[in-house]
Chains A and B, each alone.
Chain A
Amino acid sequence: MKLRRLTLIGIPYFWLLALFLIPFGIVLKISLSDIALAIPPYTPTLDISGGWQAFRDFLSELDLENFEFLTTDDLYWKAYLSSLKIAAISTLLALLIGFPMAYGMAKAREDWRPTLMMLVILPFWTSFLIRVYAWVGILSTEGYLNQFLMGIGIIGDPLVILNTSTAVYIGIVYTYLPFMILPIYATLERLDESLIEAAEDLGCSRISAFWLVTMPLSKNGVIAGCFLVFIPVIGEFVIPALLGGSKTLMIGKVLWEEFFSNRDWPVASAVAIILLLVLIIPIVLFQRNEQKQREAEQ
Chain B
Amino acid sequence: MNQDTSGNAFAPWNDASEKPLITFKNVTKKFGEFVAISDLNLDIYAREFFALLGPSGCGKTTLMRMLAGFETPTSGVIELAGQDIAAIPPNKREVNMMFQSYALFPHLNIWDNIAFGLRREKMPKDQMEARVEEMLRLTKMEKFARRKPHQVSGGQRQRVALARSLAKAPKLLLLDEPLGALDAKLRQDTQFELMDIQESTGTTFVIVTHDQEEAMTVASRVAVMDHGKLVQVDTPDVIYETPNSVYVADFIGDVNIIEGTAEANGESVSLTWAEGQPALIGSANQPISKVASAAMAIRPEKIAISSKKPTDRTNVLQGKVLDIAYLGNISTYHVQLDNGTVIKAQIANTRRIARRNFTWKDPVWLSWTDTAGIVLAV
Contact = CB atoms under 8 A, between A and B. Distances in A.
Contacts of B121: 203
Nearest to B161: A198
Interface in A173-230: 192, 194-195, 197-205, 208, 212-213, 216-217
A203 B168 contact: yes
Chain A interface size, under 10 / 10 to 19 / 20 to 34 / 35 or more:
10 to 19
B281 to A, nearest CB: 52
Nearest to B100: A194
A201 B107 contact: no
Nearest to A216: B107
A200 B117 contact: no
B120 A208 contact: yes
A194 B107 contact: no
B138 to A, nearest CB: 17
A202 B107 contact: no
B107 A217 contact: yes
Contact of A204 (B95, B99, B103, B120): B120
Contacts of B287: none
B164 interface: yes
Interface residues of B, number: 24
Contacts of A212: 116
Contacts of A213: 105
Contacts of B336: none
A185 to B, nearest CB: 19
Contacts of A199: 105, 116
Contacts of A204: 91, 120
A286 B371 CA distance: 75
B82 interface: no
B96 A192 contact: no
Interface string A16-37: 0000000000000000000000
B99 A205 contact: no
B362 to A, nearest CB: 54
A201 B106 contact: no
Nearest to A191: B106
B97 interface: yes
Given A216-B107, A217-B106, A217-B107, A201 B101 contact: no
B91 A203 contact: yes
A220 B295 CA distance: 61
Given A203-B91, A204-B91, A217-B107, A197 B99 contact: yes
A202 B96 contact: yes
A195 B105 contact: yes
Nearest to B122: A203
B117 A203 contact: yes
B120 A203 contact: yes
A197 B89 contact: no
Contacts of B95: 201
Nearest to A194: B103
Given A195-B105, A197-B70, A202 B99 contact: no
B90 interface: yes
A194 B99 contact: yes
B184 to A, nearest CB: 25
Smallest CB-CB A-B distances: 3 pairs = A203-B120, A202-B117, A198-B103
Interface of B: 68-70, 89-91, 95-97, 99-101, 103, 105-107, 116-117, 120-121, 150, 164-165, 168
